[in-house]
Structure 1
Amino acid sequence: MIYRHLLTVMLGGLALTGEAQAHGEHCEAIAASVADAGFDDSVTVTCSDAHAVLRSDTYPDHEMMTGITGTNEQVPVPADYAVPVLLDPVPGTVPLTRDSALGVAVNGVPIFDYTAGGEMSQTDLAHHQAHHDTVQTGQLDACGGHEGRGDDYHYHAEPVCMIAQMENAGPDAIIGWAFDGYPIYGRLNPDGTAIPDGALDICNGQPDETFGYRYHTSEGAPYIVQCLMGEVAAFDALPRVRALTTADGGGVDPGRPPRGGVEGLVFTESADGSRSMDYTYEGEDYYIRYAPSESPGCYDFTTRTVTNGGQVVSGEYCR
């Protein structure tokens, strides 16, 4: 493959050999997946001896929120996010799960499992969690994502809008990386052939000739990476998006999906950086409006939500 950029790895002028060479090649593959997709203007890749660190603001340049009915009444706010992807993947013995991101898309948006009900147990992995399924409960937008409890946008299913933007879109294009160092592809094998029923394991992956293992998205549950098959040291300590807080350190009260779902949810963004999410519920209009404040990394919010009983609430929140 001819890359659009040149990644130079320097170790005192010596040629890379053995493990160092393998690390350099894996680093190059990760950096190339971002650059070849056309996202290297918004995602940086920096490699150390053990990890490739992908840094972004988690805020994609595609439509967001359209199609959500089971809204948690929170909104996407840019966030500084730097996450490590292992350069030396090692198969594990027990699938790893956590109530946070399992990987990152090539556009810098975090990738979660398909649920929104907390960390899954080993037993949960083997059974579809219909009541926590973000697709079936209407919590995701048309692009496969939504905002989390920290007002952070992330994917719970195939990131179809991102894939449509990729300059190298196709079955052989890597759409993301799991934190254990293995790549994530779409619904087909890299050679374009269909994946036979039952070929994907409990984490939605299968063996790969190049990387040893790879994950896939799928039309049905679990839709995307459900767990990690590789070893990850200090897995629960991996970075999370920092939640919004008030000046005195208070957090944003979590929203609750209104019973029966909302209607007409629309998210808009103006050239001045102000944003608004508007929707109706049982004939009443509700909204969350926010814009950058004078303080760096902060936003002035004015909201009228079902969660706060329709009262108009204002305040400044910061990352």
Structure 2
Amino acid sequence: MFKLLVLALVFAITQGTLGLTTDERKYFKARPYPEQNTGIQGTVSVDDDPRDAKVLILQSNGIPDHDTGTFPAPSNPNSIEVQSFNWRIPKNPTIQLETSCLPMGPIAMATNGVAIYNPFTIGCCDAGTEELDLFDMCTGHPSPSGQYHYHIFPKCLKDFGDFNSTIFGVAFDGFPIYGPEDEFGNELTNADLDACNGRTDTYGNYRYHITNEYPYFMGCYSGRVRKDVGNNVGSTTDCQCLEPVDVCTEFGGGGGGGPPPHPGQIIIDDPGDGAGAISANIAVLVMAASTAIFRILYE
């Protein structure tokens, strides 16, 4: 009986903290910077749900706290509008055996309250290559519904010097989104991450990581999104886009999928089920747990 309790304790320790920690939640705040098109200050909060201890409530008016382009513009007729974001995410997320696809619209929230979208355009093109000229200087732009959002690395989300290794947001399955460096300051690429753009660090914490490669923020959900997640969130079982189209014709192209990738950019061909990635994560956890158990019982 004692050994069973020890095994359960060691497994819990090696699994780490998967949801947002108290310290991570402190990063969710808007800098004092009224947005130039609306003249409105951004707001954001992350709070415990008083009616459900398993839920965190994300709230935001969706207004960025940094420079934005002038909208509407010839390249984008949409305006930036105040939103009433209210999302419910798991406080203690778990990695699922099967990943879930990313719907159109918001899939996560940045630390400044701005919506994060999947890597696709409405025509399933790679937004990181096909919409580069539609983004403003901070790599964001408004949707037809007025939601300012990011598809790719948000250049103005963090202050200089606080850029790569800290938290950038949280996905709607409850897992945090970090910058392009691991816990030791090493730059990460697709080769270091699973199909969903995440990894389990040496402390057992699962995190998504933003990179300059497709799929940028996330490629899928590793955890489960609540059915009552909130407004403007689509289905994770019947998604419009699963991977970029081979030839993008949405913007008048047709010669091979639009502009060439950025230097170092890798377009991955993922089957979408993420089975290999999840197996890799489980293997890491099992290995860490086994090592710790051996030391406790036999050393």
Using the size of structure 1 for normalisation, the TM-score is 0.57
**Equivalent in 81, 92, 104 of residue 77 of structure 1:** 81
CA contact (8 A) 1:117 1:132 kept: no
Change (3 A) 1:72 1:258: farther
Give the CA deviation at 1:178.
0.6
State how 1:91-110 maps to structure 2 within 5 Å. Answer: 91-92=95-96, 93-110=98-115
Q: 190-199 or 154-163, which moves further after superposition? A: 190-199
Matched residue, 1:226: 219
1:133 aligns with 2:127: yes
Stretches of structure 1 that go unaligned for 5 or more consecutive residues are 1-17, 119-128, 242-256, 261-319
Match among 178, 185, 210 for residue 178 of structure 2: 185
Equivalent of 1:146 in 138, 141, 146: 141
SS at match of 1:161: coil
Is 1:155 aligned with 2:154? no
Q: Is the 8 A contact 2:118 2:151 kept in 1?
A: yes
- 2:121 is matched with 116
1:52 pairs, out of 49, 56, 74, with 56
Residues 189, 213 of structure 2: 8 Å contact kept = no
2:106 aligned partner, one-letter code: A
Question: Are residues 68 and 133 of structure 1, via their aligned partners in 2, closer, same or farther at CA, if it must alter by over 3 Å?
Answer: farther
Residue 207 of structure 1: aligned partner: 200
Paired with 1:108 and 1:210, the residues of 2 have a C-alpha distance of 28
Shift in Å, 1:147: 0.5
1:209 Cα deviation after fit: 4.1
Q: Deviations over 1:73-105 (max 9, x none)?
A: 111111121222321111121233111211100
Which amino acid in the other structure matches residue 205 of structure 1?
G
Classify 1:67/1:114 alpha carbon distance in 2 versus 1 (closer, same or farther; 3 Å): farther
Indicate conservation of the 8 Å contact 2:71/2:79, yes or no: no
Q: Which amino acid aligns with 1:146?
A: H
Cα deviation 1:89-133 (Å, max 9, x = unaligned): 111212331112111000000111111226xxxxxxxxxx5x342
By relative contact order (CA 8 Å, sep 6+), the higher-ranking structure is: 2
Distance 1:94 1:199, change over 3 A: same
Please give the alpha-carbon distance, in whole angstroms, between the structure 1 residues aligned to 2:180 and 2:74: 26
Q: Distance in 1 between matches of 2:87 and 2:31?
A: 19
- Residue 241 (structure 2) pairs with residue 240 (structure 1): no
Q: Please tell me whether the aligned partners of residues 157 and 223 of structure 1 are also in contact (alpha carbons under 8 angstroms).
A: yes
Check conservation: 1:27, 1:52, Cα contact below 8 A: no
Could you list the per-position Cα deviations for residues 42-65 of structure 1 after superposition, in whole angstroms to 9, with x for gaps in the alignment? 322211212221212111121113
Give, in whole Å, the separation in 1 of the partners of 2:176 and 2:188: 16
| Cα distance in 2, alignment partners of residues 180 and 199 from structure 1 | 21
More helix per residue: 1 or 2?
2
Q: Which amino acid aligns with 1:43?
A: V
Cα distance in structure 2, aligned partners of 1:171 and 1:219: 12
Shift of 1:151: 1.1
Q: CA deviation at 1:66?
A: 6.3
Question: Would the aligned equivalents of 2:181 and 2:187 in 1 still touch at CA under 8 Å?
Answer: yes
CA positional deviation for 1:164: 2.9
Instruction: State how many pairs are aligned.
Output: 209
CA contact (8 A) 2:89 2:225 kept: no
Task: Give the letter aligned to residue 198 of structure 1.
Answer: A
**Among the aligned pairs, what percent are the same residue?**
26
Q: Read off the aligned partner of 2:105 and give its amino acid letter.
A: S
Offset of 1:69 from its aligned partner? Answer: 8.4
Query: Do 1:116 and 1:134's aligned partners in 2 also have CA atoms closer than 8 Å?
Result: no
Normalised to the residue count of structure 2, the TM-score between the two structures is 0.60
Maintained 8 Å contact 1:203/1:215: yes
Match of 1:43 in 2: 44
Distance 2:76 2:118 in 1: 17
Structure 2 unmatched runs, 5+:
1-11, 33-41, 234-249, 254-299
Maintained 8 Å contact 1:102/1:227: no
